[in-house]
Homo-oligomer: A and B are copies of this chain.
Amino acid sequence: MKAKVIVTLKKSILDPQGSAVERSLKTMGYPVDSVRIGKFMEVTLAEANKAKAEEVMDEICRKLLANPVIEDYFFELEG
């Protein structure tokens, strides 16, 4: 089973990367208002049971993939 995980910085947390990209896109003349940058991860699980996979993924995200102090996460299971 595959999981796609998206990890984003919490709204109130400064995103220097995103701001730098935003500024340069603006300078390049693109109609951009804002850019926020996060992570995308693909995790292949050796677990066929969806409910179990769900549980595992949630734990993995909390423990390792995201830093709950500054980040939010969201994942989706497939296949």
Residues of A within 8 A of B (CB): 6-8, 18, 21, 24-25, 28, 30-47, 56, 59-60, 63-65
Contact = CB atoms under 8 A, between A and B. Distances in A.
B40 A44 contact: no
23 contacts: A6-B40, A8-B42, A21-B65, A25-B60, A28-B63, A30-B56, A31-B45, A31-B47, A31-B56, A32-B45, A32-B46, A33-B44, A34-B42, A34-B43, A35-B41, A35-B44, A37-B39, A37-B40, A37-B41, A38-B40, A38-B41, A39-B39, A40-B40
Contacts of A24: 64
The number of times this chain is found in the oligomer is: 2
Nearest to A26: B46
